Amino acid sequence: MRRASLNLASSLLSRTLAASSSRSAAASSSFPAPNRFLHSALYRTSTAGGSNNHRRCFSSLLRPYTAASLGFAGALITSLAATSVYQEALAKEPPPAEALPNDVVLYQYEACPFCNKVKAYLDYYDIPYKVVEVNPLSKKEIKWSEYQKVPILVVDGDQLNDSSAIIDKLGQKIMPKKKANENDEETKWRQWVDNHLVHVLSPNIYRNATEALESFDYITSNGNFSYTEKFSVKYAGAAAMYFVSKKLKKKYNITDERASLYEAAETWVDALNGREFLGGSKPNLADLSVFGVLRPIRYLRAGKDMVEHTRIGDWFTRMESVVGESSRIKP
């Protein structure tokens, strides 16, 4: 690709310079009489030197512009090459087409951080999936399952439970040559997501009555509720979760909700240690896990505050870009 870019730039530059020379020659023959003296002085033509002297003088004048053009072309090629390398680094690595499952169904709550962790994985690897939104009150959509939590992922008829286990088992199916949990750093931070980060979220999104209502407005707008359920769940649920969040604060020794969220965000950025992603030039499972659990709160008040007051915003934006559009199959 880089060689092709060099050849193209060289070709364009040659044509541009040739066109410039042609236009200059044409201009010489068409100058009106009053300007011929100026033209003669510019090109230093003389009866003794003839056309060779003309060309030498013209080349002398053109040389700095040619050098500048070559310098610009070189800078342009370097920039294009760097952009190409960066885009290649961010390019997804989809599994082989023959390894993709035929039918994937995710049973979920739209706002559930663990469900969003699974969706981040499916979206990044471009695995098409259907979604069944579970009513958290009746759970009628998963009555068929002994396991009564979400997410549940059904892959070609096989039921997978628990977000981290789902990702590991699905990875073994679609990328059997890649060993699961082969990276100690990746494993450490995936566990950090499940054991720490998710527990910081509820006390933040239900921190006060206003934020609790904001969160339940998002939940009821995207969840599987009837019209009457939406109204009752929004207000009753917000009130209930406001008090639950206070118990969670005590359980996980959280004294200041926002401070704990900011600290978690900064801890993650420190773990990146200057890298684009924890996985280096491409996200690994830890990147996808952190991104997944944060995605549902990103544009709530808590998420906006987190991005405004910590350094996590640049990484999150890169993740949004590389994960790309959802691979969810719309009904």
| H-helix or E-strand spanning residue 21 | helix 2-30
Same domain (yes/no): 129, 42: no
The CATH number of whichever domain residue 212 belongs to comes to 1.20.1050.10
Residues 269, 311: contact at Cβ < 8 Å? yes
Same domain (yes/no): 86, 102: no
Among 90, 120, 144, the domain boundary falls at 90
Domain extent, residue 35, equals 2-90
Q: How far apart are CA 331 and CA 128, in angstroms?
A: 12
Which residues are the active-site residues?
109, 112, 114-115
Same domain (yes/no): 32, 78: yes
Let me know if residue 243 belongs to a domain: yes
Among 36, 66, 90, the domain boundary falls at 90
Domains held by the chain: number: 2
Same domain (yes/no): 69, 168: no
Among 71, 90, 109, the domain boundary falls at 90
The tens place of each residue's pLDDT in the chain, 331 residues long, gives 434 444 444 444 344 444 444 444 444 444 444 444 434 433 444 444 455 555 555 455 545 555 555 555 555 554 444 444 444 555 677 788 888 999 999 999 999 999 999 999 999 999 999 999 999 989 999 999 999 999 999 999 999 999 999 999 999 988 877 665 568 999 999 999 999 999 999 999 999 999 999 999 999 998 888 888 898 889 999 999 999 999 999 999 999 999 999 999 999 999 999 999 999 999 999 999 999 999 999 999 999 999 999 999 999 999 999 999 999 998 8
Residues 166, 118: contact at Cβ < 8 Å? yes
Let me know if residue 329 belongs to a domain: no
Q: How far apart are CA 119 and CA 105, in angstroms?
A: 11
Q: Give the CA distances from residue 92 to residues 56, 184, 196, 208, 280, in Å, rounded to whole numbers and listed in that order.
A: 54, 23, 28, 40, 13
Same domain (yes/no): 47, 155: no
Give the three-class secondary structure for 205: helix
Residue 93's φ and ψ, nearest 5 degrees, are -120, 75
| H-helix or E-strand spanning residue 104 | strand 104-108
Same domain (yes/no): 104, 129: yes
